[in-house]
Amino acid sequence: MLNSTKITVYNPQKDRLETIEVAFTDDNTTWFHHCKYPGDISMITDFDGDILIREFDYMYPIRIYDMSRADIGYNRREARRLLCASTKNH
């Protein structure tokens, strides 16, 4: 994968950490600037038919299956709702 990076993500569907190789580009990533507080959504990325959601803190990005940025309207608030719904049992 061109200009890819190996990162560790949390997979709530499997309740474990995993390492993936992903390229963050303008085509697959939406960055949210002006994050002030830990927990603010700073980035959403399409990855292999899934979505990665990164918060503005030192936590691992979260991988959620079968979702995309388009599914949530490229929206930070919808990303927060999805993140909360996907991790509420973990």
Residue-wise pLDDT for 47-66, tens only, equals 999 999 999 998 999 999 99
The mean pLDDT value of the chain amounts to 93
What pLDDT, on a 0 to 100 scale, did the predictor assign at position 2? 64
Number of domains in the chain: 1
Give the range of the structural domain holding residue 73, as residue numbers without chain letter.
Answer: 5-87
How far apart CA 72 and CA 37 sit, in angstroms, is 22
Q: Output the CA torsion sign for 19, 20, 21, 22.
A: negative
| 0.85 exceeded by pTM | yes
